[in-house]
Amino acid sequence: MRVVEAFSTAYGTSPQTVWHAPGRVNLIGEHTDYNDGFVLPFAVPWGVTAAITPRSDGTIRLLSLQSPGEPVTLASHDASEGWTRYVVGVFAMLGDRVAGADIVIDGDIPAGAGLSSSAALEVSIASALNDLHDLGMTPMEIALLSQKAENDFVGMPCGIMDQAASALCQEGHALFLDCRSLGSRNIPLDLASHGLSMLIIDTQAHHEHASGEYAKRRAECESAARKLGVPALRDVTDLAAALDQLQGDERKRTMHVVTENHRVEALIGLLRAGAVAEIGAILNASHLSLRDQYEVSSPELDVAVEAAIRGGARGARMTGGGFGGSAIALVPLERLSSVEEAVSNAFAEHGFQAPRFLPATLAQGAHRVA
């Protein structure tokens, strides 16, 4: 394994443990996690592999095969910059339970595709440290610690979905997660046996103000819940009455969150009934709601979704936080090339950078590889 070879070259010994944690695609349940709602992500076959040996002097030495050079040396609680923040953040959250480490990481999540490379990085490091120091954390505790690193150390007010998907997903399954109770269920999903595939369309476009807009949406939801006198938008039971009490953006955000939670449940109902191709209509409805009510789509995502449907997809939607990144399309196997062609042509007509197509399979969550 190249991460092990790189570790030996950098530090002169073999790593004591090697963990892999994947990125994710969210099938449905977008911007619901921080509203105490429901999500249904699955792990993708790309992620971060971390080779680690503990140290006892409070130092972290860190090398990424994606930024070759000498290892960077950091103190366990240093505020750092760029991608190293996600690693130091995990150490900071673990406090005196750990005292430094030598680390090499290798990642293969397409950069900027919105497939949660940061959650994969946090969860790979937290899982490896949990293993090395016998910390006894469950996968959900690892996810929560990783989320806290991102919230409190990196400063991104994300919900629990990405870290939970990376830590808990099972191969061949999507993960139904109730983000309030943190109860979860693995939902089997064998697309190929229904003649279908899930195509990831990476728009290769990213909005530079995405994290500011994300924080704004979250604040709008919290403000709407306060006005409605409920702990979170998940608790809205009478949507019409709630909408009567709200105005402007808060009204639109509430409309999205409440209907999106219902879409998650409806989609799971269809999967349970074996009506897999029929989930396409729910994916389409989710996209329209994210575009028009939540206002987190982008021109590239809209063109990707529209062209995929025109090319023969059963349904499509943006996935993840939005403002760029990736869309997913549920495509009959025999229509894969016509969908790719339709999307590529539409991107060329709009003068967008060419999209990338990645066939998604439902991969295994965090696991030890050596």
Interface segment toward ligand GAF; rule CB under 6 A; list 25-33, 195-203, 286-294, 336-344: 25-33
Least distance between ligand GAF and beta carbon 308 (Å): 20
Q: How far is the CB of 33 from ligand GAF (least distance, A)?
A: 5
Q: Exactly one of 6, 92, 145, 158 binds ligand GAF (CB under 6 A); which one?
A: 158
Task: Using the minimum distance from each CB to ligand GAF, give the nearer residue, 308 or 318.
Answer: 318
Q: How far is the CB of 92 from ligand GAF (least distance, A)?
A: 19
Q: Which of 47, 159, 324, 355 is the binder for ligand GAF (CB under 6 A)?
A: 159
CB of 117 to ligand GAF, least distance (A): 11
Q: Does 321 bind ligand GAF (CB under 6 A)?
A: yes
Does 33 bind ligand GAF (CB under 6 A)? Our answer is: yes
Residue 69 or 209 having the CB closest to ligand GAF: 209
What is the nearest approach in angstroms of ligand GAF to the Cβ of residue 260?
A: 9
The answer to whether 316 and 305 have CB atoms below 8 angstroms apart is yes
Report how far Cα 285 is from the mean position of its chain's Cα atoms: 20
Beta strand 100-107 with 59-64 is parallel
Task: Please choose, out of 28-36, 51-59, 269-277, 304-312, the segment that lies near ligand GAF by the rule CB under 6 A.
Answer: 28-36
User: Per CB under 6 A, does 220 bind ligand GAF?
Assistant: no
For residue 37, give the nearest of 296, 292, 260 by alpha carbon.
260
What is the distance in angstroms between the CA of the first residue and the CA of the last residue of the chain?
A: 9
User: Residue by residue, what is the 3-state secondary structure of the chain?
Assistant: CHHHHHHHHHHCCCCCEEEEEEEEEEEECCCCHHHCCEEEEEEEEEEEEEEEEECCCCEEEEEECCCCCCCEEEECCCCCCCCHHHHHHHHHHHHHHCCEEEEEEEECCCCCCCCCHHHHHHHHHHHHHHHHCCCCCCHHHHHHHHHHHHHHHHCCCCCCHHHHHHHHCCCCEEEEEECCCCCEEEEECCCHHHCEEEEEEEEEEECCCHHHHHHHHHHHHHHHHHHHCCCCHHHCCCHHHHHHCCCHHHHHHHHHHHHHHHHHHHHHHHHHCCCCCCHHHHHHHHHHHHHHCCCCCCHHHHHHHHHHHHCCCCEEEECCCCCEEEEEEEEEHHHHHHHHHHHHHHHHHHCCCCCEEEEECCECCCEECC
Binding mask 268-307 for ligand GAF (x = CB under 6 A): ----------------------------------------
Q: Which stretch binds ligand GAF (CB under 6 A): 24-32, 72-80, 184-192, 194-202?
A: 24-32
Least CB distance to ligand GAF at residue 255 (A): 16
- Concerning whether 33 is annotated as a catalytic residue, the answer is no
Which listed residue (6, 18, 31, 331) binds ligand GAF by CB under 6 A? 31
Question: Is 30 among the residues that bind ligand GAF (CB under 6 A)?
Answer: yes
Q: Name 192's Cβ contacts closer than 8 Å, sequence gap at least 6.
A: 333
Judged by CB under 6 A, the stretch of 30-38, 54-62, 219-227, 308-316 that binds ligand GAF is 30-38
Q: Is 107 in the site for ligand GAF (CB under 6 A)?
A: no
Told to check if 162 binds ligand GAF by CB under 6 A, we report: yes
Q: Is 91 in the site for ligand GAF (CB under 6 A)?
A: no
The count of chain residues that interact with ligand GAF, using the rule CB under 6 A, is: 11
Catalytic choice (162, 178, 190, 235): 162
Active site residues: 162
Residues that bind ligand GAF (CB under 6 A): 26, 30-31, 33-34, 158-159, 161-162, 320-321
